[in-house]
Amino acid sequence: MVRDFFNGRPFRRLRPTDYTIDIFDKINDSRFFKTFQTVYYRNGSIPTQAASPGLYWTAANAPSPALVNLPKVMLGDTAGLYIVNPPNLPLLTSQIAAMRYYAVFARNKQTTAGGAITSDFNNNKYLTMWKLSDPIRLTNTNNEAKGIRNGTYARLAETYLIIAEAYGRKGDYTSALTYVNRLRQRAAYKANEIRSPQIWQYMGGPNTLANTEAANMATTTLFTTNAPGELYPPSVTSTTDRFIHFMLNERTRELCGEFYRWEDLVRTETLFERTKLYNADISPSFATFHKRRPIPYLQMVAQQIGGQPMSPDQMKNYQNPGY
């Protein structure tokens, strides 16, 4: 493979947390596979069999005699695959080894049936977000930053989510779900819409291209009970609190990667609890006062009180608590 716009540009990426991956209904809701890239296609030259014998079919592993001594992956074929299978459907390492792709990373795998489950996902191998990718650039240079996609000032979907949350905070859950389900209706798969084969190959979903709108609709059960798929924190036990966390989950499914999260967690007073629970890499020094940012020293130096620069004590009082 060679670098191109579709397969990713050479910049640092952000790894999605397990929470982010798990909060999506991958079978009925199209937003997961439209948010994260799980497949990469061969776009480079084909090495010789002498140089890379493992990339060619042999008599021992070819599914057909006609394929012996031919490349396993031709130009345009799947070369790399991230399999997002659930822990109850782990893949055997022997199954993965038998796949013809150059690189396969399974989220849940085991050496023997019933054995310990491990994962290929780590801080170097993880899903990449592609819902905001711009495949067209002003030039063909792979480092070209100038694209053609318009910037987004406002998202109609976020407006629906704001209205839904407002109704829910008033206890009008019927009206709240009306707006949530407008988005879920749009996000559901439509009949004959192409979708990832992972749904039926590795996730236990149906091998059909049927409409999933009915299955994707939200009901009050999702927050009046401790619905397992919503991953509620242990401390969240009331319908009122679960609804707020349900809306945070729904905002993840719709707005992931769109720079809303910090404000959402701070305004709902859930930053500390959810970050400690869902972010395995959070620093041990993370504390509740981090919901506010530190006020820069240069900003304080520029302030005056009574026409005079602030004293050290005044700066201390001016600074946000904890810093």
Mark residue 231 as left, alpha or beta (left: phi above 0; alpha: psi -120 to 50; beta: remaining): left
Residue type at 144 in one-letter notation: E
Q: Mind listing the domains of the chain with CATH numbers? A: 39-126 (no CATH), 156-284 (1.25.40), 292-323 (no CATH)
**What's the burial of 56, exposed, middle or buried (CB within 10 Å: 0-12/13-18/19+)?**
buried
Give the tens place of pLDDT for each residue, 64-123.
Answer: 999 999 999 988 899 999 999 999 999 999 999 889 898 999 999 999 999 999 999 999
Contact predicate 30/187, CB 8 Å: yes
Mean pLDDT for the chain overall: 93
Nearest to 5 by CA among 129, 130, 135, 127: 135
Contact predicate 252/20, CB 8 Å: yes
16-32 average pLDDT score: 97
**Would the pLDDT of 141 be above 90?**
no
Interatomic CA distance for residues 164 and 59, integer angstroms: 60
pLDDT band at 11 (very low <50, low <70, confident <90, very high): low
Nearest to 312 by CA among 292, 291, 290, 297: 297
Pairing state of beta strands 91-92 and 109-110?
Answer: parallel
Distance between the two ends of the chain, CA-based, in angstroms? 47
The pLDDT assigned to 9 comes to 64
Interatomic CA distance for residues 105 and 318, integer angstroms: 50
Contact predicate 295/319, CB 8 Å: yes
Nearest to 247 by CA among 187, 315, 163, 316: 163
Contact predicate 80/102, CB 8 Å: yes
The pLDDT assigned to 91 comes to 97
- Quote the radius of gyration of the chain (alpha carbons, Å): 24
Give the tens place of pLDDT for each residue, 228-249.
Answer: 999 999 999 999 999 999 999 9
Interatomic CA distance for residues 168 and 307, integer angstroms: 48
Give the tens place of pLDDT for each residue, 164-223.
Answer: 999 999 999 999 999 999 999 999 999 999 999 999 999 999 999 999 999 999 999 999
